[in-house]
Amino acid sequence: MVLTLYNLDASPPCRACQMVLEYLKLPFNYVTVNPLNKEQLTEEYIKMNPQHTIPTLVDDDFVLWDSHAVVVYLVTKYGKDDALYSSDPKKRALIDQRLHFDTGVLFPALRDTLVPIVYFGEKQSKPENLEKIVSAYDFTEKFLTKAWIAGDQLTVADFCCVATISSLNVVIPIDAAKYPNLTTWLKNCSELDVYKKNNLPGLSALETIYETVIA
């Protein structure tokens, strides 16, 4: 088995995959693909992933993209147990719901705010995009009735959601008084070794890009 991840640290879905690879102690080749330089639009990359997104995982001759599909694949194929992605139908359904929440609500809130700034140099976020972030925080606060985002156990959904939410936190800092559950969960996630190793550096890189443009 040779795993290769095409990715960039600043990208939240890439960081989610990196955290899961690290958590499962899976060695992988790291190939940088920087969308800021349009490196995902080469003929070779599009041949591999016609949707031209990062991250893309290559496992020998198997190619898979979308971070949520990737993290589930890694746990089900290589995890020693089902701890990060329970095989219990109800627990798994809740994890899947949170993964879809990241795809459908959290990540679009981030993308719609950051793309005009990072790719097109706009200095200010549109109010409607900032509202999407506040709404995403409101939902997440209500989901976090237990220690982790899908219940009592740390799961792949925590890695996907925290990569996005820690990045949203750069745009609108999370108010601890308004969002106590979200604040505690983010603190718990940030204490994980894999967060420190595989989320923090890319998060700082994204923060630097963001702050430089809006300055």
Ligand X SMILES: N[C@@H](CCC(=O)N[C@@H](CS)C(=O)NCC(=O)O)C(=O)O
SS (H, E, C) 150-196: CECCCCHHHHHHHHHHHHHHHHCCCCCCCCHHHHHHHHHHHCCHHHH
Give the C-alpha distances (Å, rounded to integers) separating 166 from 40, 120, 185: 24, 22, 11
Is 11 annotated in the active site?
yes
Q: Does 164 bind ligand X (CB under 6 A)?
A: no
Q: Does 125 bind ligand X (CB under 6 A)?
A: no
Among 5, 19, 54, 117, binds ligand X (CB under 6 A): 54
Q: Does 166 bind ligand X (CB under 6 A)?
A: no
**Number of residues located near ligand X, criterion CB under 6 A:** 12
Instruction: Report in angstroms how near the CB of residue 7 gets to ligand X at its nearest.
Output: 9
Q: Does 155 bind ligand X (CB under 6 A)?
A: no
Q: Computed from CA positions of residues 17, 213, 190, 152, in that sequence, does the dihedral angle turn out positive or negative?
A: negative
> CA 159, CA 62: separation in Å to the nearest integer?
23
Residue type, 213: V
Q: 3: closest CA among 63, 69, 44, 80? A: 63
Q: Does 199 bind ligand X (CB under 6 A)?
A: no
Q: Does 4 bind ligand X (CB under 6 A)?
A: no
DSSP states along 56-76 = EEEETTEEEESHHHHHHHHHH
Among 66, 75, 125, 189, binds ligand X (CB under 6 A): 66
Among 68, 99, 143, 165, binds ligand X (CB under 6 A): 68
Interface of this chain with ligand X, residues 168 to 197, rule: CB under 6 A: none
Q: Does 86 bind ligand X (CB under 6 A)?
A: no
Q: Does 202 bind ligand X (CB under 6 A)?
A: no
Q: Does 116 bind ligand X (CB under 6 A)?
A: no
Active site residues: 11
Residues forming the site for ligand X (CB under 6 A):
11, 13, 35, 40, 52-55, 66-68, 103
